[in-house]
Structure 1
Amino acid sequence: MLKKRASGGDITKTLSAPEYLVCSAQASAVTAVITNPLWLVRVRMFTSQANSPNAYRGLWDGLSTIFHKEGTLGLFRGTTLALVGVSNGAIQFVVYEKMKAWGFDRKRRQHEQAGKVYDREADKLSNLAYTVMSISSKLAALSVTYPYQVVRSRIQNNAQAVLFPTIPATIKRTWAQEGPRGFFRGLGTNLVRVLPGTCVTFVVYENLAWLLRTSAATRAEAGR
Structure 2
Amino acid sequence: MTSKSERLKDEGSRLQVTAAGATAGLISRFVIAPLDVVKIRLQLQTHPLSDPLTHRDLHGGPIYKGTLPTIRHILRSEGLTGLWKGNVPAELLYVCHNAIQFASYRQATVFLHSTLGEGTIPPSAESFIAGAVAGGTATAATYPLDLLRTRFAAQGNDRVYANLREAVLRIGREEGFQGYFRGLGPGLAQIIPFMGVFFAVYETLRPHLTHLELPFSTGGALAGTIASVTAKSATFPLDLVRKRIQVQGPTRNQYVHKNIPEYRGTMSTARAIVQNEGFRGLYRGLTVSLIKAAPASAVTMWTYERALRFYISLGERSVL
Scaled by the length of structure 2, what TM-score is found? 0.52
Structure 2 equivalent of residue 131 of structure 1: 128
Q: Which has the larger radius of gyration?
A: 1
Shift of 1:104: 2.6
Judge conservation of contact 1:48–1:159 (CA < 8 Å) in 2: no
Work out which of the residue numbers 184, 189, 193 in structure 2 matches 1:187.
184
- Change over 3 Å in CA distance of 1:107–1:42 after alignment to 2: closer
* Match status 1:76 vs 2:84: yes
Structure 1 equivalent of residue 199 of structure 2: 202
| 2:165 counterpart letter in structure 1 | P
Work out which of the residue numbers 144, 149, 152 in structure 2 matches 1:152.
149
* Match status 1:98 vs 2:110: no
Structure 2 equivalent of residue 4 of structure 1: none
Give, in whole Å, the separation in 2 of the partners of 1:79 and 1:48.
21
Give, in whole Å, the separation in 1 of the partners of 2:23 and 2:135.
18
State the number of aligned residues.
191
| Pairwise CA RMSD | 3.0
Per-residue CA shift, 1:87-142, capped at 9, x if unaligned?
Answer: 1121011011122123334456xxxxxxxxxxxxx667534443332222222111
- Change over 3 Å in CA distance of 1:90–1:124 after alignment to 2: farther
Q: Where does the alignment leave 5 or more consecutive residues of structure 2 unmatched?
A: 1-6, 48-52, 211-320
Judge conservation of contact 1:151–1:170 (CA < 8 Å) in 2: yes
Q: Where does the alignment leave 5 or more consecutive residues of structure 1 unmatched?
A: 1-9, 109-121, 214-224
Per-residue CA shift, 1:20-41, capped at 9, x if unaligned?
Answer: 1222222222221122111212
Structure 2 equivalent of residue 17 of structure 1: 14
| 1:137 counterpart letter in structure 2 | A
Give, in whole Å, the separation in 1 of the partners of 2:71 and 2:162.
21
- Change over 3 Å in CA distance of 1:48–1:169 after alignment to 2: farther
Judge conservation of contact 1:155–1:161 (CA < 8 Å) in 2: no
Judge conservation of contact 1:44–1:158 (CA < 8 Å) in 2: no
Per-residue CA shift, 1:194-221, capped at 9, x if unaligned?
Answer: 32221122223334567799xxxxxxxx
| 1:183 counterpart letter in structure 2 | Y
> Relative contact order: is structure 1 or structure 2 higher (C-alpha 8 Å, sep ≥ 6)?
2
- Change over 3 Å in CA distance of 1:173–1:161 after alignment to 2: farther
| 1:180 counterpart letter in structure 2 | F
- Change over 3 Å in CA distance of 1:65–1:125 after alignment to 2: same
Give, in whole Å, the separation in 1 of the partners of 2:209 and 2:75.
45
- Change over 3 Å in CA distance of 1:165–1:95 after alignment to 2: same
Per-residue CA shift, 1:133-185, capped at 9, x if unaligned?
Answer: 22222221112101111111111222594432321222122111221111111
Give, in whole Å, the separation in 2 of the partners of 1:141 and 1:206.
19
- Change over 3 Å in CA distance of 1:205–1:40 after alignment to 2: closer
Q: Secondary structure of the residue that 1:158 maps to in structure 2?
A: coil
Give, in whole Å, the separation in 2 of the partners of 1:42 and 1:167.
21
Give, in whole Å, the separation in 1 of the partners of 2:209 and 2:36.
35
Shift of 1:46: 3.2
Give, in whole Å, the separation in 1 of the partners of 2:10 and 2:202.
16
Structure 1 equivalent of residue 64 of structure 2: 56
| 1:104 counterpart letter in structure 2 | H
Work out which of the residue numbers 42, 46, 56 in structure 2 matches 1:45.
42
- Change over 3 Å in CA distance of 1:12–1:102 after alignment to 2: closer
Give, in whole Å, the separation in 1 of the partners of 2:150 and 2:156.
11
Structure 1 equivalent of residue 98 of structure 2: 89
